[in-house]
Amino acid sequence: MSPDESDLELATLWFLAARAMSAADGTLGTSRQAAAGLYAQAILGLSEEACQQAKSDENIATLTLLDCLGKLAFVPREVGEKIMTGVMMISYSNFKMHPMEVRWASMLASALALEGDDFQRCCVNARVMAGMLDTHGAQDIVDAEPVEPEGGSE
């Protein structure tokens, strides 16, 4: 079954924003990855098909983060807040924030035109979600050190 066009667009936007946040910090646990998909289906209401197709090369590979920020400016406010919450949930999942994660969060908040209070509410909700979806896994596991972002070659 083919997903609805708008669902596919939202799913693509979500996975792009979420992947960028996962890239910003450098760690990538399976539970953290799976939490992104659960969030998409449970909170954003996206179908399994939309989530799967969004990650196909033809949908996501050609889009840049600038495209992502541009498209976010046009999503309804409520959906935008949900995306912000989900992205922050991914960021909190390992109990620390990398500087680049802060920057990506800040860029997203600007693109969504979120006020300070709205952003803080998203952050609080994200903390709740991170706990619920067990994005950090067993707490007694020592987190892997984040991969250091590449140096001058980038």
Partner 1 sequence: MTGKGTNFGFLDRCDDRVAHLARQAERYVYTDPDSCLFKLRLMIETMAKRLVSMSAPNMVDSDLSSMLGVLERLGTLPRRQADGMHAIRRDGNAAVHGNSTPSPTAMRRLKDAHGLSGWYARNIERGSKVDAGQFIPPPAPFKPTDKEDRLNKDIENLEDHIDDQRRRTREALMLFREDEDPEGVRKRYRIELKALEMVAAAAGEPLVDAEFVALVMAMDLEALFEHPSFGADSREARRNAEAQLAVVKTELEQNENDYLSERANLVHEMQLYKRRQLRGEL
Residue with tokens 């960028």: 20
Binding mask 109-128 for partner 1 (x = CB under 8 A): -----------xx-xxx-xx
Residues 55-74: x/- map of binding to partner 1 (CB under 8 A)?
A: xx-------xxx--------
Report if residue 135 touches partner 1, rule: CB under 8 A: no
Q: Distances from the Cα of 17 to the Cαs of 1, 104, 144, in angstroms?
A: 25, 9, 23
Q: Does 12 bind partner 1 (CB under 8 A)?
A: no
Q: What DSSP character marks residue 24?
A: H
Contacting partner 1 within 17-46 (CB under 8 A): 18-20, 22-24, 26, 28-34, 36-38, 41-43, 45
Long-range Cβ contact pairs of 70-76 (< 8 A, separation 24 or more): 70/111, 71/9, 71/13, 72/13, 72/17, 72/108, 72/111, 72/112, 73/111, 73/112, 73/113, 75/10, 75/13, 75/112
> Which residues of the shown chain bind partner 1 in the complex (CB under 8 A)?
15, 18-20, 22-24, 26, 28-34, 36-38, 41-43, 45, 48-49, 51-52, 55-56, 64-66, 96-104, 106-107, 120-121, 123-125, 127-129, 132-133, 137-138, 140-141, 144, 149-150, 154
